[in-house]
Amino acid sequence: MNNTIIASGVQPLPIPVRDVVPWAVFAGLLLLLAIYFVGAEEGATSLIAGNNVHEYVHDARHLLGFPCH
């Protein structure tokens, strides 16, 4: 048998926007950094010398449609 108890009148508390904004900005910056490393970290815009970053994200570049050859 199923013994589910349903509480009536219980409503979730809303999360204030001011609590979400710092996390959203942080996540956005991390995503922009990831897109930079996948899409532009080679050649003239390279921040890290060598070919290691390019080789590490090589398959992700092709998956996301960035040309690299």
Cα distance from N-terminal residue to C-terminal residue, the chain: 62
Which residue in 39, 37, 57, 35 sits closest to 47, CA to CA? Answer: 37
Q: What is the pLDDT of residues 3-58, one digit of tens each?
A: 777 767 778 888 899 999 999 999 999 999 988 888 887 777 778 888 888 788 88
Position of tokens 């959203």? 24
Contacting residues for 41 by C-beta, under 8 A, at least 6 apart: 47, 48, 53, 54, 57
Q: Span 54-69, mean pLDDT? A: 82
Predicted pLDDT at 1: 59
Instruction: Kindly list the domain boundaries of the chain, sorted by start residue.
Output: 17-64
Predicted pLDDT at 20: 95
For residues 63 and 69, give the distance between their C-alpha atoms in angstroms, rounded to a whole number: 14
Q: Is the pTM of this model over 0.75?
A: no
